[in-house]
Structure 1
Amino acid sequence: MSWRSLIAAAGAGVAVILVATMGAPALAEDALVSLAKQKSLTDTPDGPKDQLRKFGIDVDVWITQFEQGVTSGAIKRTARYGGIMDAFLHVDGEKLGFWKGLKFNAQYEHYFGRNVNRQDLALLPVNVAQAFIERDGYHSALSMTLTQEFSEQFSITIGKFNMLTLAAQTPLVGGGGIETFMNRSFALPSTGIGVSSPESVADRLIVAPPYLLGGVGALKTKYFDLKVMVADPRNAQQPRVIQRPFERGVGAGLMLTVPFEIGGLHGFHTVRAAYSSARGFDLEDIGESQRIARLRGITKKGYRFVSYAVQQYLMQSADDPKVGWGVFSLATLSDGNPNPVKWSVVAGLAGNNLMTGREDDRWGVGYYHYRLSPLLLSGLAMRRIYRRSESGVEAFYNFAVTRWFRLSGDVQIIDPWNPVRTRASYLGLRLQTKF
């Protein structure tokens, strides 16, 4: 059975459940309301998931499908269908019989189908959830982390981190590409310490590795949250990173988040600084002859990066302050060599629909601009490869049929870094089911 057939069957099964529930007049209304409010399709009261939680085990399976097309601007107009299955495991060690504060998390991903990321002229993938599929390479990925909470304020986590999943926790804008924005500029912002990988078509130019091997220390106080991360700067999806960690250098980052209120509305300021001792391709060598470039190669040592982000609610629910909408922005600055992106700006509005009964809906509209390093652009131009900085806008609306069954519409308009076409537009549909 094909993936498309399997998922179509799953969708049909959901429809059968809903129809069957509606067909029993005496219990239909209460059962339907209960089904709609569940966090997932199988998360029934006192059901198997509820029983497992008593032992500290929480399991979730999400399937997100995409139908996305390039409607104008690319060399060839095309549409692709594909998706991703995410399986999550969360274990509370104390409830399972181990010591207090021990947590284990794992996430398995499996990609299926195709996507439009390689069918266009854009630098940043327009569908980040499927951006790291390689034709003869990765179609699945496993991330695992182990956390020890020493107190309510301090914890240490080690392992292989899924950066898309971490980005999904960002207030308002979210991330990860499966619930809010789909473009990488919003769903996986720059970290600036990734090693450039020109040989990897899927990664284009790495501005934030999707997986990192390392550790994070987190300190939470009433006045600020502080995180310190030490990691291998390479994409941990590559087996060599697991086999020989830190052989090409060490990346370190510090992130400080300060909460504040304006007129009783919550907001957050986040400052981040990062440095990597890894060596990257010296962008000054791009314009040299091929013979000289081969001799000099990857010689530039050290990636430096700073960023500043703001999330500010403009409207909040009186019942749940985490439900609301507001403004977000992110500005980054790097050394520009070996980092291929000198600076970037992301800004927009996003959050929940606060209309009565639609609080689970999410929406957003945003603008991004990635200013590429002048050394990169001038070096490519000397080789008669003409590129430019990239900018674009994206808007989406995520309609919650139930809390676990969502349909999104997405539109993007981009001025791609390849000037063969002045502007490209994309339309997409996204269907997510949480089992």
Structure 2
Amino acid sequence: MSGAASLGRNCRRQVAALAACAFLASAGPAFADDSFVSLAKQKSLTDTPDGPKEQLRKFGIDVDVWITQFYQGIPAGALDRTARYGGKMDGFLRLDGEKLGLWQGLKFNAQYEHYFGRNVNRQDLALVPVNAAQAFIERDGYHSALSMSVTQELGEHLSVTAGKFNMMTLASQTPLVGGGGIDTFMNRAFALPSTGIGVSSPESVADRLIVAPPYLLGAVVALKTSLVDLKLMVADPRNAQQPRVIERPFERGVGAGVVATVPVELGGLRGFHTFRVAYSNARGFDLDDSGERRPLVARLLGITKKGFRFASYAIQQYFQQSEADPNVGWGLFTLATLSDGNPNPIRWSMLVGLAGNNLTPGREDDRWGVGFYHYGLSQPLLDGLEARRITRRSEGGVETFYNFAVTRWLRLSGDLQIIDPWNPRRARASYLGLRLQTKF
């Protein structure tokens, strides 16, 4: 843990220096000249006008490094009033094949993640992790992950992508609500919504019930038209963090999903309706058997059931938009999911809330949100646990955050969550968090 403490101290010193620089950039004419104003407005700390990053982009090479730090505690509901500090580093590499002298339409994306420090996930026995960005790492330790994908654009509207996908990064592209846990909501319910075809494995490090693996190995075909955006994804339903998934893909089955997003304008304001259906032929634990008192060997092997089925419907509707940029605004988001309930442990779930940008002049880069979620556990699972004298229930909670853009590359967030955990013997818990993100 000495390495984590040292890294944490270094990060805090670095952030203090960056904050001082940002203050000078925004303190007014007495402190700021044109260079400081430019520093405050650029997208990342090192992305200076005509600088190295801009020069690299001319050759088709785009590089970003983000460091996100978390300090999160449980002021009510936990026995020991736990508070933890940790964070993650994200490195992004994007290559344009045509600019590199290869061929038109070829793209390459890579994301490297390194985690440090500790987190409060599982400290209050909540079912859904309260810090999604650190939910899939070794407990109180270090972890690194690498995701890579190759895209071939086959025209203006059609593309094919294959590789290992970071599902939280993909979720971050969702309008209004975002995802990924590093700049909008922190709770996994919002940051990594269910896909319903995940297969839990004892060797994986994840949350209590895998309803959406954070990494998937597979391929996506995307078709964009003026009426609808269609995506077909075929993937190994297991968490691709496991080396065995890379070494022996699809040995436990295959998952497939179709996503249709329909843009709809309401009163001149943008909106999106997204329909998803998914199926996996993998085998999962038969929840109808979870309450049976069988011999030890039979219980360890488990009685399996083939086939995971899932459907969802989501809405993102802007209530206000910036005249200068229609992607900047705020509005309503909702998501409802439904599964077969066996072997899926989650029968249904629901999200609803308001989120987006602060449209006050000068604060358009700020983001905020408030949302409610509920995860309805499968009745066979609840009955099976009850037969073993383990009382559980469905879980729900609320979260609100405000992400203050000190500059475009330095952001400070405050976060509050209140959760009724799935263990009814646990009191309602509250979680307070601070999050500092620096984009280099």
Q: Give the TM-score normalised by structure 2.
A: 0.95
The answer to whether 1:374 aligns with 2:367 is no
Tell me which residue corresponds to 1:311.
Answer: 316
| Aligned length in residues | 435
Tell me which residue corresponds to 1:264.
Answer: 268
Residue 89 of structure 1 and its aligned partner are, at CA, apart by: 0.3
Residue 9 of structure 1 and its aligned partner are, at CA, apart by: 2.9
The answer to whether 1:388 aligns with 2:393 is yes
Return closer, same or farther for 1:226/1:198 CA change in 2, 3 Å cut-off: same
Return closer, same or farther for 1:252/1:40 CA change in 2, 3 Å cut-off: same
The answer to whether 1:230 aligns with 2:234 is yes
The answer to whether 1:350 aligns with 2:358 is no
> Structure 2 CA distance, aligned partners of 1:193 and 1:377?
20
Q: How does 1:267-416 map to 2 (within 5 A)?
A: 267-291=271-295, 293-294=298-299, 297-416=302-421
Tell me which residue corresponds to 1:46.
Answer: 50
C-alpha root-mean-square deviation of aligned residues, in Å?
1.8
Tell me which residue corresponds to 1:427.
Answer: 432
> Structure 2 CA distance, aligned partners of 1:12 and 1:136?
25
> Structure 1 CA distance, aligned partners of 2:368 and 2:388?
43
Return closer, same or farther for 1:26/1:147 CA change in 2, 3 Å cut-off: same
Task: Give the aligned residue type for 2:127.
Answer: L
The answer on whether the counterparts of 2:25 and 2:40 sit within 8 Å (CA) in structure 1 is: no
Tell me which residue corresponds to 1:77.
Answer: 81
> Structure 1 CA distance, aligned partners of 2:207 and 2:38?
42
The answer on whether the counterparts of 1:197 and 1:205 sit within 8 Å (CA) in structure 2 is: no
Tell me which residue corresponds to 2:111.
Answer: 107
The answer on whether the counterparts of 1:214 and 1:231 sit within 8 Å (CA) in structure 2 is: yes
User: Of 46, 60, 63, which residue of structure 1 is paired with 2:64?
Assistant: 60
Tell me which residue corresponds to 2:209.
Answer: 205
> Structure 2 CA distance, aligned partners of 1:177 and 1:22?
27
The answer to whether 1:193 aligns with 2:193 is no
Return closer, same or farther for 1:193/1:55 CA change in 2, 3 Å cut-off: same
> Structure 2 CA distance, aligned partners of 1:327 and 1:104?
33
Q: Per the alignment, in what secondary structure is the counterpart of residue 261 of structure 1? A: coil
The answer on whether the counterparts of 1:308 and 1:331 sit within 8 Å (CA) in structure 2 is: yes
> Structure 1 CA distance, aligned partners of 2:25 and 2:211?
48
Return closer, same or farther for 1:284/1:18 CA change in 2, 3 Å cut-off: closer
The answer on whether the counterparts of 1:214 and 1:230 sit within 8 Å (CA) in structure 2 is: yes
Residue 121 of structure 1 and its aligned partner are, at CA, apart by: 1.5
Q: How does 1:248-259 map to 2 (within 5 A)?
A: 248-259=252-263
> Structure 1 CA distance, aligned partners of 2:311 and 2:203?
26
Return closer, same or farther for 1:21/1:369 CA change in 2, 3 Å cut-off: closer
Residue 284 of structure 1 and its aligned partner are, at CA, apart by: 1.1
Return closer, same or farther for 1:21/1:264 CA change in 2, 3 Å cut-off: closer
> Structure 2 CA distance, aligned partners of 1:16 and 1:398?
19
Task: Give the aligned residue type for 1:421.
Answer: R
The answer on whether the counterparts of 2:22 and 2:407 sit within 8 Å (CA) in structure 1 is: no
The answer on whether the counterparts of 1:216 and 1:227 sit within 8 Å (CA) in structure 2 is: yes
Return closer, same or farther for 1:295/1:235 CA change in 2, 3 Å cut-off: closer
Residue 202 of structure 1 and its aligned partner are, at CA, apart by: 3.2
Question: More deviation in 127-136 or 336-345?
Answer: 127-136
Return closer, same or farther for 1:324/1:15 CA change in 2, 3 Å cut-off: closer
> Structure 1 CA distance, aligned partners of 2:374 and 2:368?
21
Residue 180 of structure 1 and its aligned partner are, at CA, apart by: 0.1
> Structure 1 CA distance, aligned partners of 2:115 and 2:424?
31
